[in-house]
A = this chain, B = another copy of it.
Amino acid sequence: MKRSLEHIEYKEDTEALAKFAKALGHPTRIAILKHLENQSCCFTGDLVDVFPLAQSTVSQHLKELKNAGLIQGELKPPKIKYCIDQENWNIAKSLFQKFFD
C-alpha cells in the first residue's frame, strides 16, 4: 500500500477494534477460537487433526491470533498449550459491544 508510511491517525479504539476484527476475518481462525472456547485449551496438533490444513498453515493462523492478543501459548514440553487470552478477549468483547451499541 502506497501510503503505509504516511499513516492515517485513527482513535485508539478504532485501531484496536479493526485489529481484532482483522484477526477474526478468516473462517479458520473463527473455528479455532470456537474450538478453544469449547475445549478451553488445546495443542497445535489437535487443531491440525481437526482442520484439513497443513501443520504450517495452522501454526500461521495461531501466530496471527496470538499477535492480535486473542490467544496465548503456554509451554508444556514438548507441546504448546494454547488458550484464550481472557483479558484481551474481554477487551475485544467490550469493544465490539460498544461498537454495535
Contacts and interface: CB of A to CB of B under 8 A. Distances in A.
Number of this chain's copies in the assembly equals: 2
A97 B99 contact: no
Contacts of A10: 27-28, 30-31
Given A8-B51, A24-B18, A30 B99 contact: yes
Contact of A30 (B14, B23, B52, B89): B14
Contacts of A92: 100
Interface in A20-71: 21-31, 33-34, 37, 51-53
Interface of A: 8, 10-11, 14-15, 17-18, 21-31, 33-34, 37, 51-53, 89, 92-93, 96-97, 99-101
